[in-house]
Amino acid sequence: MFELLTEKFSGLVEKLKRAKRLDERTVEEALKDIRRALLEADVNVEVVQQFIKDLKGKLVDRELIKGLTAGETVVKLIYDEVLEVLGEHSPLQKPEKTPGVIMLVGLQGTGKTTTAGKLARLLKSKGYTVAVASTDVRRPAAMKQLCTLAQSIDVKCYADEDEKDAVKLAEKFVKQAENDGISYLILDTAGRLHIDEELMDELVLIKSRVHPVEVLYVADAMQGQDAINTAEVYHQKVGLTGVILTKLDGDAKGGIALSVRRVLGVPIKFIGTGEKIEDFQPFYPDRIAQRILGLGDIQSLIEKMQAAIDEDKAEEMAKRVMNAEFTLEDLKEQINMIRNLGPLENILKMIPGVGSKLKHLKVDEKKFIKIEAIINSMTPEERRNPQIINGSRKRRIARGSGTTIVDVNQVLKQYKEMKKLMKKMKKSGKMKLPFNLPM
C-alpha cells in the first residue's frame, strides 16, 4: 500500500538529506518534486495546490529546526504537512444507546460486505458484542454472502429473505439487536453501479429511522478520484461521518487517502488492505505519513505483535527456556505465535528500510506448516523427550505428517541446535527471547 508515494518520497527524502542549506533552490526543487509525486499518485489537484502553497509558506525564509540539518528540516515540515492533510485520528463513535448502528454505504463492488465482516471481527476482538445485517433486498445472494462471512467469525447475522422493504428490514434488525444486547450493529446496504435516486432515498429513509452513530462510505481506492466524486454525492444526499478505504493493497496509487479529508471534510476511519478478513485496520494518520515518507511503520508492527502474543505465555516460555526445559511442544507454540501475527512478509515489510527492498519478497509459510505438521504427528511423550525418537518412530511421524524422514531429521536437528544455544545463553546470561526461530 502507498508504494508509489513511498517510492517517490523516499527518493526525495534521500536527496534532501544531503542538502546543506535551506536556500531557495533547494526549496523550489523540493516543492517541484513533491508536486509531481502527489499528482502522479492521483491526489486531488486542488489538494495538491493547497499542499504546495502551505508548505512553501512554511519553508521560505525559515530557520532550521534545532538539531536538524537543512534537509531534515524540510522532511520534518513535509511530514507535518502530510499529517495536516490527513487530519487527526478519528476513532469510531461510541453509541449513546445500544445498539450503535454503523451503516456502510457505497457503489457496487467497492467492498461493503467484506468490510462489514472485517469491521465486525475487529470490534469483536475489542470485546464488543457485534451483529451484522444486510438491507440489500434486490440481490438474492446478498444476505447469504454476509451471513456466511459472519458465521466464519462467529458473529450474529440477521436476515429475512421475505421482507422486501429495506427500511422495514433495517428497523426490524435494530429491534432484534436491541433484544440481543448488541453494542454495534453493522448494516450492510445495497450497492449500485451508478448513483440512483431510488437508492439514495432508501438510504436517507433508513438513516432517519435507525439513527446510526456512523454512516461510512466504503470507497474503492483503485477508483482514485472517481471514488471521491461519488462520495461527494453520497455526502450531500445522505450525510457521511467517515470513509473506509478498501483495496489499498492493489495497484491503487494511494492519492485518494490524501484527498478525502480536504475534499469531503470527513475523516478516513479504516483501511482495507487485502481480501482476507484480517486485512483491515484503523486509519492512523501518523503511521500513514511515516509510511509514505518511508520512515517505517514501527508502531503498527509493535501493536500487531502485542495483539497476537499472549504475554503470559511468552513469559512462561521464557522461564522454561531459561531452565532449558524448552520442548518441541514449546517450539510449536512459538511458531504459532509468530504465525498469528499474520503473513510474515507483511510484517517484514513494515520494518524500516526493509519495506522498499523486499518489494517482491515472499516468505515460505509452507516451511512453518511443515514443522507444525511434523510436531503434531509426534506423541506427547516424544515431544517432551525427543531422544526416544528412533528410526521406526521417525518413519511413523513422517508418514503421519505427509513429510519425509529427512524433514523430520531436520526439525529435530534444528530443535537440538536451538536448545544448545539456549543452554549457552543461560550460561552467559544473554537472553533475547522468545523470538529466535531457526531461520
Ligand X SMILES: Nc1nc2c(ncn2[C@@H]2O[C@H](COP(=O)(O)OP(=O)(O)OP(=O)(O)O)[C@@H](O)[C@H]2O)c(=O)[nH]1
**Binding residues for ligand X (CB under 6 A):** 108-114, 142, 191, 246-247, 249-250, 272-275, 279
Q: What is the DSSP pairing of strand 268-272 with strand 280-282?
A: antiparallel
249 binds, among ligand X, Mg ion, none (CB under 5 to 8 A by kind): ligand X
Q: Which is nearer to Mg ion, 116 or 263 (CB)?
A: 116
Given the complex with ligand X, which of 113 and 403 has the nearer CB atom?
A: 113
CB of 131 to ligand X, least distance (A): 17
Contacts of 43 (CB under 8 A, 6+ apart): 51, 255, 256, 258, 259
The least distance separating ligand X from the CB of residue 270, rounded to whole angstroms, comes to 10
- Please report how close the Cβ of residue 202 comes to ligand X at its closest, in angstroms: 14
- Give 112 or 207: the residue with its C-beta nearer to Mg ion: 112
Amino acid symbol at 248:
L
Closest distance of CB 159 from Mg ion, Å: 13
Map residue 89 onto helix, strand or coil. Answer: coil
**Dihedrals phi, psi of 134, to nearest 5 degrees:** -115, 135
Choice between 247 and 419, CB closer to ligand X: 247
Cβ atoms 190, 167 nearer than 8 A: no
Report the nearest approach of Mg ion to the CB of residue 138 (Å): 11
**Nearest distance from residue 145's CB to ligand X, in Å?**
7
Q: Which helix (H) or strand (E) holds 306?
A: helix 298-308
Of 241 and 273, nearer to ligand X (C-beta) is 273
Residue 111: which of ligand X, Mg ion, none does it interact with, CB under 5 to 8 A by kind? Answer: ligand X
Give alpha helix (H) positions in 309-379. Answer: 311-322, 328-340, 344-349, 365-376
Residue closer to ligand X, measured from CB, 152 or 376: 152
Sheet strands (E) in 123-255:
130-134, 156-158, 184-188, 214-220, 242-246
In one-letter notation, the amino acid at residue 126 is K
Q: Binding to Mg ion by residue 113, rule CB under 5 A?
A: yes
Paired strand residues for 103:
187, 215
Q: Are 429 and 419 in contact (CB under 8 A)?
A: no
Give DSSP secondary structure letters for 110-135: SSHHHHHHHHHHHHHHTT--EEEEE-
Nearer to ligand X, 165 or 275 (CB): 275
Nearest to 78, CA basis, from 29, 32, 9 = 9
Closer residue to ligand X in complex, CB, 245/266: 245
Q: Provide DSSP, 232-269.
A: HHHHHHT--SEEEEE-TTTT--SHHHHHHHHHHSS-EE
Least spacing, CB of residue 173 vs Mg ion, in Å: 16
Distances from the Cα of 315 to the Cα of 280, 303, 321, 432, angstroms: 29, 18, 10, 12
Q: Tell me the closest approach of the beta carbon of residue 191 to Mg ion, in angstroms.
A: 6
CB of 167 to Mg ion, least distance (A): 18
CA 92/CA 199 separation, integer angstroms? 25
Binding residues with Mg ion: total (CB under 5 A): 2
Applying CB under 5 A, the span of 7-15, 99-107, 111-119, 390-398 interacting with Mg ion comes to 111-119
**Considering CB distances under 5 to 8 angstroms, the limit depending on partner class, which of Mg ion, ligand X, none binds residue 274?**
ligand X
Which strand ranges, in their side-by-side order, compose the sheet holding 242-246?
Answer: 156-158, 130-134, 184-188, 100-105, 214-220, 242-246, 268-272, 280-282
* Binders of Mg ion in range 188-227 (CB under 5 A): none
In the complex, what is the shortest distance from the CB of residue 283 to ligand X, in angstroms, rounded to a whole number?
A: 13
Nearer to Mg ion by Cβ, of 219 and 293: the residue is 219
Q: From the list Mg ion, ligand X, none, pick the one residue 230 interacts with, judged by a Cβ distance below 5 to 8 Å according to partner type.
A: none
The residue ranges of DSSP E strands in 144-241, in sequence order, are 156-158, 184-188, 214-220
Residue nearest to ligand X (CB): 191
Q: How far is the CB of 256 from Mg ion (least distance, A)?
A: 20
Residue nearest to Mg ion (CB): 113
Interaction mask 275-304, Mg ion, x per CB under 5 A: ------------------------------
Asked if residues 42 and 228 have their Cβ atoms less than 8 Å apart, the reply is: no
Q: Closest CB to Mg ion among 73 and 113? A: 113
Q: How far apart are CA 218 and CA 271, in angstroms?
A: 9
One character per residue 68-107, x = contact with Mg ion (rule: CB under 5 A): ----------------------------------------
**Is 22 or 146 the residue whose CB approaches Mg ion more closely?**
146
Say which entry of Mg ion, ligand X, none residue 250 contacts (CB below 5 to 8 A, set by partner kind): ligand X
Footprint of Mg ion on this chain (CB under 5 A)?
112-113
